[in-house]
Homo-oligomer: A and B are copies of this chain.
Amino acid sequence: MLRLFEISKSNEEVINIIKNREEENLDLVDTVSKILKDVKDNKDKALRKYTEAFDKVKVKDLRVSENEIKKAFKSVEEDFIEALKRAAENIEKFHEKQKSKDYIISEEDGTYMGQRVLPLERVGVYVPGGTAAYPSSVLMNVIPAKVAGVKEIVMVTPPSKAGGINPYIAVAAKIAGVKEIYKVGGAQAIAALAYGTESIERVDKIVGPGNTYVATAKKLVFGKVDIDMIAGPSEILIIADDKADAKYVAADLMSQAEHDKLAASILLTTSVEKYKEVVKELKKQVEELERKAIIKEAFKNYGMAIICPNLEKCKELSNIIAPEHLELMVENPMELLGKVKNAGSVFLGYYSPEPVGDYFGGPNHVLPTSGTARFFSALSVDSFVKKSSFIYYSKEAINREADKIILLAEKEGLTAHANSVKVRVIKE
């Protein structure tokens, strides 16, 4: 259930297992390129064609009406709406603190310079449809954009079999503050967002998860618009001391494994006893879970444990693995936090299971996967702004600094650069 690895200096074996989970899908590039080109050329007509072909439905209006959203609110349980609203509040509160500020530096000679932080003007959020609808993902992708000040947040999502919209998704979109929703999915939806059609105006950035067609389309339109990270398979790493409740540890390892058969669950513990207890708990709890087949398959390939001589060593290995989710199920988690260098999101103590972060607490659940927490960050308010610098030199300043700028430009062989300063120099 949880393959035990020998402790070693870097545990490269474990790291390689984590990093090599991805399945390459290069053969999709051709298919997706054709769809992109078709939508670019034939716009709405192509969107309708692909929706009929792939979603097996004729959609009347691509845009979701106010009426459809009202209906969705009526069909969804009230306590669900309440829970979602509360989650949205928490997420908004957490992200408010991420706002970057403009700044200016001014000098006595009249020179001033600085940086402005400007929201992107229009953002597209992709939301998968089908059987697994994720309203939480709507909140996590839309709210940071809203906090950043993005005025136009557009959502695209595949139509249901009846040509409608999943009511949970519609409700989440409304709560998060989306004003435009279109019933179109797949690579064709990404094309519409990147190039624009008669119905859907093009955006500046596309975010949100999707299947391999969607991910490939996002990669291909990158540069034309900005995109978020392409998420790889997901992982959790738990550092547990001997006081951690094995029941909690087992439950948390499984919460990650149920995502898909490529999800990885890693336990680092200082106690052999704890490892054994956790395995026992896993075997017991898994049988009660709906998605036990997926969980078992994920564990078979990517369920791993290492017994470490001390927490220091656990921390070292965790920093090398750079997990998406890191749970510190130890007595003094805050003390350990400062030593964590590479982790998407860190869950502290015995009462902070990963789903608190996935659904409710406030931090974003769009996190860097497969060891990329070494250099990537969670989706944030910063993902939805651009920063633009400005500089004003006074006549006094340009004359004073002219020689230095001219010299630097000339040494690089860029004499027209030097010339643009020279023409401004006032000879005395």
A residues at B contact (CB < 8 Å): 79-80, 82-84, 86-87, 93-94, 97-98, 100, 103, 105, 111, 113-116, 118, 120-121, 131-136, 168, 204-205, 223, 225-226, 230, 247-248, 251-252, 254-255, 257-259, 285, 288-291, 295, 333-334, 337, 340-364, 368, 372-378, 380, 382, 385-395, 397-398, 401, 403-405, 407-409, 411-424
Contact = CB atoms under 8 A, between A and B. Distances in A.
Copies of this protein in the complex: 2
Given A390-B348, A392-B333, A420-B354, A404 B362 contact: no
Contacts of A375: 120, 204-205, 225-226, 386
Given A346-B389, A380-B387, A411-B168, A291 B416 contact: yes
Contacts of A363: 113, 115, 389-391
A427 to B, nearest CB: 14
Given A93-B105, A97-B115, A223-B372, A389 B364 contact: yes
A169 B209 CA distance: 43
A273 B104 CA distance: 35
B251 A388 contact: no
8 contacts: A83-B404, A255-B419, A337-B390, A348-B391, A350-B395, A356-B405, A360-B408, A363-B389
A353 B424 contact: yes
Given A135-B408, A290-B413, 10 more contacts: A82-B404, A118-B341, A133-B412, A291-B413, A350-B395, A356-B421, A360-B401, A360-B405, A362-B391, A368-B386
Contacts of A401: 356, 360
Contact of A416 (B84, B97, B251, B387): B251
Given A205-B375, A225-B375, A291-B416, A113 B389 contact: no
Given A97-B115, A349-B392, A359 B405 contact: yes
Contacts of A380: 115, 387
A397 B93 contact: no
Contacts of A418: 355
A349 B395 CA distance: 10
Counting from the closest, the 4 A-B pairs by CB-CB distance are A363-B389, A83-B404, A348-B392, A258-B416
Nearest to A95: B115
Given A93-B105, A120-B375, A423-B248, A86 B404 contact: yes
Given A136-B412, A346-B388, A417 B86 contact: no
Of listed A83, A131, A341, A386, residue having the most chain B CB within 10 A: A386
A21 B68 CA distance: 45
Contact of A351 (B248, B387, B424): B424
Contacts of A334: 392
B289 A419 contact: yes
A263 to B, nearest CB: 10
B408 A80 contact: yes
Contacts of A105: 93-94, 97, 362
Contact of A255 (B100, B131, B290, B416): B416
Contacts of A376: 226, 386
A208 to B, nearest CB: 15
Contacts of A368: 386
Nearest to A372: B223
A375 to B, nearest CB: 4
A361 B404 contact: no
Nearest to A250: B423
